[in-house]
Chains A and B, each alone.
Chain A
Amino acid sequence: MQNAAIQNKRSDSWLNIKKDFNTMTWVLMPVAIAINMAVGQIVATLRLPVYLDSIGTVLVGVICGPWAGALTGALANTILGLTINPDFLPWWPVAAVIGLVSGICANYGLFKSWWGVVVSGFIIALAAAISSVPISLLVYGGITTGGTGLITAYLVETGRGIVQAVFASSFLTEPVDKITTAMLAFAIIQGLSKRFIARFPRAENVETDENISRTQLYIAIAVVVLLILFAILLLGRLTGG
């Protein structure tokens, strides 16, 4: 009995790649890729200062596992890069890291409360920022297209080295985007029926005993707002000095 329990525990480890992939995972992946794209499009229509183009990736990472998440991210950027906007293409390793890290966070039980989700969003953001620096430098020579590139350019102009500027601009822009992404993915999971979630390989990652309280959600939103204000303040400091 005990042996079986240990065995079971081991096969639940996030290192177990095979566990991530069943038919539901494979069918969810293209839908997740399309969700990434369509939500990104809606957010662009609303002219919000975030991308939110990895909700699908995080969703797969959480309910199917880190390796499925990583594969979804990599394929999403490759497919969208080749068909809609070539700007996506070089960033596929970052998308893979986002899927992987969100899966690992979920495996350590962070996707069971709003607190955990904010923390995971932050961890995902750090991982994404670190992994995007070499790509910015190698592919684009530091200054990328889009909003982050403008911030980098500003920092370089105010006398910072290019590597330092790339790091600073990634760390400024990523957290807000990724925490919001993680929260929306969690909200989607909360809205799905338990019976549906149970068919995915890592449904236990989001199993919660009691209902998620609303106060927790409000506190989590407050934390995000504070973070945004902090980022703006930091940006002011960096550009002022």
Chain B
Amino acid sequence: MHERLSFFVKRDSPIHRLNPMTKVVLALSLVLIAFSSPWYWTPQAIFLLAIIPLTFIARVVKEYWSFFLKVILATVSFLFIMQSLFLPGESRIIFEIFGLEVTELSAQLALRNATRIAVMISSFTILLLTTHPSELMSDLTRRGLPGQFAYVIISSLQIIPQMQAKAQTIISAQRARGLDTQSSFFRRVGAIVPLVGPLVFGSLVEVEERAIAIEARGFTSTRAKTSLHEIPDPSSERVIRWILIALVLVSITLKLWLS
């Protein structure tokens, strides 16, 4: 049972040492370029030339590929198969199955869309594997993100696993007293109330106490807060960030210009 929902793997790598903001900009610009570039092969190139090398540099190859096999592969291959079967496209037919045609055009589009999704998920996965959520949040707060946002995000990460565990407990408890969660459709619809009710009311009860507790700790204070933990941000990284932003802008302009 995780105490906190986080992918973070503690390693010593150049990527881990980067400022969290640089990693966020890197992830976002890879995604935006993959989606906006006018050239057909860009998403595939980003996947092979950026995502895969990054996993090596960040020394998270094993973690990345296990996530890839468990989550990304299923999503992406489902998307690819569905789209190549069903996207309309008038071109040479590659093969037919159950009267559904896979044409050259639909397979090409499907490959591009699926790779784009793979790039999107992968770049965020790498970001999360190499960045501790609290470090990301304290850096963003230092840059002017309101503290309340950081609170919502960090405490969601804590509450979600607790709530998942609570949901499982309630399901088991209600099953133990004989609640039918597996038979006919109407029985299952009826099971919503005894399952959702205790979960929701139970969790809402804590809200008021928590509000009092954080208010007592100066949550609503508007004064600047100091931090014990310094996060380095060298000027070289600032340059990298601007270059990445420029690349995204170039990619979007080219797309608009060429279409």
Contacts and interface: CB of A to CB of B under 8 A. Distances in A.
Given A31-B204, A46-B188, A196-B208, A145 B75 contact: yes
A35 B71 CA distance: 23
Nearest to B159: A34
A199 interface: yes
Contacts of B207: 24, 27-28, 31
A79 B156 contact: yes
A157 B100 contact: yes
- What's the dominant secondary structure at chain B's contact region? helix
A34 B113 contact: no
Interface residues of B, number: 67
B220 interface: yes
B35 interface: yes
A143 B200 contact: no
Contact of B188 (A47, A152, A162): A47
Contact of A86 (B71, B110, B171): B71
Contacts of A232: none
A192 to B, nearest CB: 7
Interface size class, chain A: 35 or more
B20 to A, nearest CB: 14
Contacts of A3: none
B87 A42 contact: no
Nearest to B206: A31
Given A26-B219, A86-B71, A141 B156 contact: no
A143 B86 contact: yes
B189 A34 contact: no
Given A27-B211, A140-B117, A192-B204, A89 B196 contact: no
Contacts of B65: none
Contacts of B117: 139-140
B203 A34 contact: yes
A238 to B, nearest CB: 15
Chain B CB count within 10 A is highest, among A30, A84, A142, A144, for A30
Given A39-B199, A141-B112, A191-B197, 15 more contacts: A23-B219, A26-B148, A31-B203, A31-B204, A37-B163, A38-B164, A38-B199, A42-B192, A45-B171, A46-B192, A83-B160, A140-B79, A141-B113, A157-B100, A188-B204
Interface of A: 21, 23-24, 26-31, 33-35, 37-39, 41-43, 45-48, 55, 75-76, 79-87, 89-90, 138-145, 149-150, 152-153, 156-157, 161-162, 184, 188, 191-192, 196, 199
